[in-house]
Chain A
């Protein structure tokens, strides 16, 4: 159930952004991606989550091991908190949602329509979705946006519990999550160099 990325090159809008990235993510480990805005962290995570094909290189992971959470939480405003979570649980073939509600302190909000939640509460609901999927490898893009300090601690606790249960997490973030055991990968060094060619070949790059 580990994730392995070999010599990966990724493109955004047909332009290479990062190249030659390799890392290993084993169960019980957490890898934090860092780098300035626009460097390609989101693109890297979307490639790992198989939302877009790599330009070169490979992503090796069991197809049913990953769960992805991006900038948007995929929450329906017209459904209640419990209905939202139950939907995602069913999609992933699960039924239990109460541990997820407890872990992100959503129990008092269970029957509230998701449209009436604050931004931070919505994000907590989006993160609670990770728990109901039961998937071992979390791929998270800026998970702590609009969370307050307590909620960040809540999230860190959830990640730690996930890791100790044999899970793994790949997180792109700017803030310090307080996860001492997390390894850090700064992707700035992998920025793709523009090829100096006057010629142009098949791919126009």
Chain B
């Protein structure tokens, strides 16, 4: 199992686009917002947590179709299914590799981007914490979407259409936690709900992803 994780991470590093592209996209979203809403510091300060969350979510979405598409094209997916790895483990590891190569860099870079949007000092800790808790759920849910659309030509747009509604609860709780943190309110409740969603998706969704992948390989 670690072999698959290592291979995916190695591919993400060597193929380029793994670590770098998501971050660059995140940066662009954050930079575009002041162009769109104007440079007023107090307005940016208010919307910063939400913008950072949406930026991270979109950057995550961007790289989803690569989770299975490359392995599907070169036939590795067929071979993995006949290998002695349970399908549920394969999809979980794929999600983990996606999080390590996309989600984690976003989490680490988010304070820097918060600076650009004039995020208040007390908002940094809740922001990073909420992204750290929430992005694994984004990867796991995205893996399910990627498994649904793996056999389709031009599945990218459909993938976004299917995955975005599934992202709603995570986004609401994550952004709410970051917002409350920035306003100096207590973040306990959204933190617990966000953690609950993340744990729930990690525990249950791989079964659905594996079932979907088996159907798609038929």
A contact residues vs B (CB 8 Å cutoff): 49-53, 64, 66-76, 78-79, 83, 86-88, 90-93, 129, 133
Contact = CB atoms under 8 A, between A and B. Distances in A.
B75 A91 contact: no
B217 A51 contact: yes
Given A68-B78, A76-B74, A92 B11 contact: no
B82 A78 contact: no
Contact of A75 (B3, B74, B80): B74
Interface in B134-173: none
19 contacts: A51-B78, A51-B81, A52-B217, A53-B218, A66-B82, A68-B79, A70-B75, A72-B78, A74-B78, A76-B7, A78-B10, A79-B7, A79-B14, A86-B3, A87-B3, A87-B7, A91-B83, A92-B84, A129-B79
A133 B71 CA distance: 19
B218 A78 contact: no
A50 B81 CA distance: 9
B: contact size bracket: 20 to 34
Interface centre among A66, A68, A76 (most CB of B within 10 A): A76
The A contact surface, by secondary structure, is loop
Contacts of A90: 2-3
Given A51-B218, A52-B218, A91-B3, A76 B83 contact: no
B15 interface: yes
Interface string B67-109: 0000101111011111111000000000000000000000000
Interface in B33-64: none
Contacts of B115: none
Contacts of B129: none
Given A53-B218, A87-B7, A76 B82 contact: no
A139 B83 CA distance: 13
Contacts of B217: 51-52
B105 to A, nearest CB: 19
Given A53-B218, A92-B84, A74 B10 contact: no
Nearest to A64: B84
B37 to A, nearest CB: 41
Contacts of B75: 70-74
A49 B82 CA distance: 7
Contacts of B81: 51
Nearest to A91: B83
B192 interface: no
A93 B84 contact: yes
Contacts of A70: 75, 78-79
A68 B10 contact: no
Contacts of A74: 71, 74-76, 78-79
B218 A91 contact: no
B89 to A, nearest CB: 11
A116 B112 CA distance: 39
A128 to B, nearest CB: 13
Nearest first, the 6 A-B pairs at minimum CB distance are: A72-B75, A90-B3, A74-B76, A78-B14, A52-B218, A74-B79
B199 interface: no
Contact of A79 (B10, B78, B82): B10
